[in-house]
Structure 1
C-alpha cells in the first residue's frame, strides 16, 4: 500500500482519527517583577514538585513544568493547560512566567538553584541528576524552556491499518510503525522549527562557547544577539546539547536496535565526565561518569515512550510493552500564547504525525541520519533564507524549504480533508491553509514575528517583560474552563501527603538505593 491507500483505509473508521491521544508539557521560568530569575523556593501552594500530577519543576527550582493528562479533544487539552497556568499564577504572588524559550540575562550560574524534591531516596536522586547536569554542561543551558507534545494513535487506528492480529504481533507492528514515524520525523521534521521556531535571538550570556564564534551574529539593544534568518537557536549547538553524545550511534530502525543503542550509551564511560568525579570527599557530584547518567539525558527531538510502572526505567517499559506513544521535543515556547502553544500548532502536529506514520519510511543508516541532522541545523540557523537548500538523502537532489515544504503540504492536505470529515468540520483544512502562507512567505513564520518585535523593542528583555504582563492579565481574568480551584487545591494537598509517604517508606540508605538502581549497569 502507498500513503493514499493507507489513509483511505484509516478514513473508513472516524474514531481512528477523532480519538487521537495528546498531552502537553510546558516549561516556564518564574521571574521577579524586576525581570530576574526568582530566588524563591517552589511555591508552597502548588504542593509537592515530586508528586503533583499537574505541576512540577524541571531542572531548576524556578523552572516550572506544567503537565496535562491525555486528552482526545484539542480544545479540552488547551483549556486544561490554561487552567493549570491560572492556578499557578494565583500561588506566585507578584512573580510572573517568562514567555520565551531563551531566558534573559543570567548573571551567575550560582543564582540558579537546582530543583528540590525532598529527603526521599527518589527525591535525592532527581536532585543529584541535576547536580550532574550542572557540572557537565553548566546551569545556564539547563534553564532553556520548551514545550513537549505527547501523541498516540487509538486502537481503532491500528485496527484499520493492520486488521486482526495476535497480541504480540500487534505490539510489534505498532512499535515498528512508530519507529517509521520517528524516521520520517528526522527526515521532514525540520518543518517544525521552520514554522514554529521562536528563538531567533538570545542573550549574550549564551555566546561564551566555541559554537558561537563561527556564526555571524548581529546585535540589538544592550545585549541581544540574533541571526537574521534563524528560527530556533534553542535547538542549535548554542542550546542544550551533549557533545559527548556525538559519538553514540543510536539507530531508529526498530525497537531492538534503539534499546541496544540506548543501553550502550548509559553503560559507556566518559573520560571527560570521569574528571568531575562521582563521589568526592563524601559528597556526590553526579549519578555516574557515563556518557548518559540516566536515559533521560539523551538529547533527541523525538522519543519513543511507554508509561512506566513503579521503579521501572523507560527502556524497561519499552521492552515490556513496546512503544505506546511518542514525545515531540522540538517545540519552542510560543511567546504570543499565554500557555506557550496554540490550537493551530496542535492541529498541525496532528496532521504531520499522522502523515509521517502513514507514509513510506525506509530504514535509515547512519549516513542518512547525519544528512537529516544537517538539514535540521541549516533550518535552525538559516531557515528563513529563501535560497537555503536542503539535501534529500546523502547523494540526492537539493530543494529549497519552500519547494520541499510544498510537496509535504500537498499530502498533508489529503490528511486534513479526511480528519475534518471524521470530525464534521473544517478546522484542520483551515489550519493548513493559514500555515501554507508561512511556507510561501518566511516573513510570516513565528521566528520572523518574534525577531520583528525584538528589534522594535530593542531586546529580548523588553519584549519578554511586555508579553509576560499581557499573559498575566489574560490568565488572571479568565474563568476556569475544565478544572476548578478546588481540584487544584486538593491535588496540592494530596501531593504533599504522597511525598511524605514516600519519604517514610524508605528502608535503605541513599548509597544502597543508587547501587540497586544501577545494578544492571554495574553487572555488565
Structure 2
C-alpha cells in the first residue's frame, strides 16, 4: 500500500485515469430503512408482526429490528440508484397493503410511548437461532432501556466493484489484489469517515425535536425548549438521534475500537465481547429465563454503536468478526442517517449520489492512523453538530486548532466537486454534481436542512412533532395505496413471504440442542 503522505491530488489523478474511472459505474448500494408501526392515533402498535409480511427471521426484504413494531426494509445490492429506490418503494407499498389501519412512523425519534414495557420485543420463533435473537434484544432492553432501541434510522450500504479494486490497488502500488489490501483501503476510508462524519447529521439530520415521553427524566444538561403539549427541542439541533440520548451510548464511551488495521479492529471488538462487565453482571442468570446473552461489555458484535461498520456477509451462525477475518471487508454500512421525513421511503435519490461522492472523498484523502485522542476529537465534533449544528459560527476541532464548520465544509466541497465530475463523466450524467450543489446550499442557508425544515413546520403550526408526523404518515400511506408497483408486483412479495414461512419451519424442524447448551457452544467457537 502507498505511504500515508500520498496527497489528495495524487490520488485524485489516479481516480481520473480512464481505466479506473470507468469502473465507478459498478458502485453498488443497498438501503436498510427502519420504521415503527403505529396505530391510527400515533401510538406504537401492540400487534404482532403481520403474518402476511412473512417471517422476520428468514425474510430477505422485510424483517424487524429491536421490536415487533420496528420494521426493517432491506434492498439488495444494486448499481442502479433508481432501481434501489423503486425496490424500496415497492416494499413500502406491499407493507401498507397488509397493515390494515396501521401506519408507518416517518421520523427517527419514536412516537408517544407511555413506558418502555409498551415496546414489544421482536419474536423470531422457537428455534435456538430465533430465541437467541430475541434474548439479545432482552439484553439490550436491560442494559440501555427499550426507549433508545425504538429509534429508527436508515443504513446505507456501499461497495466499490472488484474491477475498481483491481485497478486502484495496483495503481496505488500494491503488489497484489487480495482481501488484505482491499480491506486496508476500506479501513482507510472508514478512518476518514470518522473524521468527517459531522457533515452527515448536518445535511441529513432530521430529529431536532422529540416527544417528552422519550426522555423519561433523562434530559441531562441539554437546554431543551418546549412547544405544543409535549415536544422538546433544541433550537440548533440536527440529529438528537445521534446525541447522547440516542445511539451514541455512554455505556460504551470507554471502549476503544481500533480502525487502523482490520486485524486490530477485529481484536479490539473481540476483546469487548470477551471482557466481563461488572455493570451488566447484575443481569446474569444461571438458568432460563435468561436476561441477556452474556454479561460481557458487548453481548455480540452488533451491540457496538458506531456511525459506520465494515461488513462481510455472514454464513449461518458465523460471527461478523469471523466473516471479516476469513474473507475481508466486502462493503461498508453508513449508520449516521436519520429517516428523511420528507421522503415517503425515508431517503431521497440525491442523498445516495452525494454519499457516493463523500465516501470517495474519504478514500482519496490521506488517512493516518486514528488513535484514541483523535477519535475522541471526532466524537466531540459529531456531538457539537448533532446538538448545535445550525448555530451561526459553530467552530469544530481541526488538527491542533479550530475551524468554522462552514469553512471546513467549503474546503471539502471544493475537493468533492472534482470527484463528482469523475463520477458524472463515467455515468454520462450530472446527478452527482447536482446532488453536491444541492447539499452545498444547506451550508449557505441552514434553513434548508431537514432539521430546520421540520422544526419550522412545528413552530409555525404550534403542533407537536407527533401530530406533524401523524399527518405525514397518513399522507404517505394514501400515496402508497394509490400508486402502482414499479419494479416488482404484489405476487413477488407474496411468494417471498411464503418462502420465508417454509424456511423458518424447516429451521424449527431441525433437532435443537438445549438452549443453554446452544449459547455455550456459540460463544465457545
TM-score per shorter chain, which class? over 0.9
The answer to whether the Cα contact below 8 Å between 1:386 and 1:402 also exists between their aligned partners in 2 is: no
Contact kept, 8 Å, 1:202 with 1:226, in 2: the verdict is: yes
Task: Confirm whether residue 422 of structure 1 aligns to residue 426 of structure 2.
Answer: yes
Structure 1 residues 168 and 515: alpha-carbon distance in aligned structure 2, compared to 1, 3 A threshold: farther
| Among candidates 147, 167, 174, match of residue 160 of structure 1 | 167
* Paired residue secondary structure (2:283): coil
Higher mean alpha-carbon deviation, 57-66 vs 304-313, is at 304-313
**Alignment partner of 2:155: what SS?**
strand
1:470 is aligned to 2:478: no
- 8 Å contact kept, 1:236–1:377: yes
**1:377 partnered with 2:391:** no
Change in 2 beyond 3 A, CA 1:166/1:516: farther
**What is the CA deviation profile of residues 223-271 of structure 1, one whole-angstrom value per residue up to 9, with x for unaligned ones?**
1000010000001111134333222111110101101110010011111
Give me the TM-score of the superposition, normalised by structure 1: 0.96
Deviation of 1:517 (Å): 0.3
Residues 1:302 and 2:341 are matched in the alignment: no
| Mapped contact 2:394–2:404 kept (Cα < 8 A) | yes
Which residue of 443, 464, 471 corresponds with 1:439? 443
SS at match of 2:158: strand
| Cα shift at 1:453 | 1.1
Is 1:387 the equivalent of 2:398? no
From 72, 84, 88, the equivalent of 2:79 is 72
Structure 1 Cα separation of the partners of residues 285 and 84 of structure 2: 41
Match of 2:203 among 189, 195, 199: 195
Q: Does 1:57 align with 2:61?
A: no
Pairing partner for 1:361 from 367, 392, 403: 367
Q: How far apart are the structure 1 equivalents of 2:175 and 2:309?
A: 23
Show structure 1 runs of 4+ deviating over 3 A.
164-169
SS of residue in 2 equivalent to 1:41: coil
Q: CA deviation at 1:291?
A: 0.9
Match of 2:239 among 220, 232, 239: 232
Which residue of 336, 357, 375 maps to 1:330? 336
- Which region of structure 1 is more displaced relative to structure 2, 68-77 or 156-165? 156-165
Alignment match, 1:128: 135
Structure 1 position 167, deviation (Å) = 9.6
Deviations 1:147-198 (A, max 9, x none): 0001000012112212289997522111111111111011111100001000
In 2, are the aligned partners of 1:386 and 1:400 still within 8 Å (CA)?
no
Distance 1:166 1:214 in 2: 50
**1:369 to partner: Cα distance:** 0.6
What is residue 456 of structure 2 aligned with on the other side? Answer: 452
Q: How do residues 163-178 of structure 1 correspond to structure 2 at under 5 angstroms?
A: 163=170, 170-178=178-186
Judge which range, 8-17 or 384-393, deviates more.
8-17
Q: CA deviation at 1:220?
A: 0.6
Q: What secondary structure sits across from 2:335 in the alignment?
A: strand
SS of equivalent to 1:247: coil
Take 2:155 and 2:286, find their aligned partners in 1: how far apart are those partners?
A: 33
CA shift for structure 1 position 311: 2.0
The aligned residue for residue 411 of structure 2 is 407
Q: In the alignment, what sits opposite 1:19? A: 26
Q: State the alpha-carbon separation in 1 of the partners of residues 403 and 150 from structure 2.
A: 35
Q: Is the 8 A contact 1:386 1:401 kept in 2?
A: no
Q: Name the SS for the 2:390 alignment partner.
A: coil
Partner of 1:479: 484
Offset at 1:209?
4.7
Q: Within 5 Å, which residues of 2 pair with 1:18-167? A: 18-163=25-170
Aligned match of 1:498 in 499, 503, 523? 503
C-alpha distance in 1, partners of 2:464/2:512? 52
Cα distance, 1:5 vs structure 2: 3.0
**Cross-structure match for 1:205:** 213
Which residue among 312, 323, 326 is the counterpart of 1:320?
326
Shift of 1:434: 1.3
Take 2:8 and 2:217, find their aligned partners in 1: how far apart are those partners? 44
Q: Tell me the distance in 2 between the aligned counterparts of 1:7 and 1:87.
A: 43
SS for the counterpart of 2:66 is: coil
1:140, 1:189 → 2: CA distance? 25
In the TM superposition, residue 108 of structure 1 has moved relative to its aligned partner by 2.0
Gaps of 5+ in 2: 1-5
Task: Report the Cα offset of residue 397 of structure 1.
Answer: 2.1
Whole-angstrom CA distance in 1 between matches of 2:193 and 2:285? 36
Change (3 A) 1:121 1:443: same
Secondary structure, in 3 states, of the residue corresponding to 2:36? strand
- Distance in 2 (alpha carbons) for counterparts of 1:445 and 1:102: 17
Deviation string, structure 1 residues 108-160 (Cα, Å, up to 9, x no partner): 21111100100000000000001111111111111100000010000121122
Q: How many residues align?
A: 516
Q: What secondary structure does 1:163 align onto?
A: helix
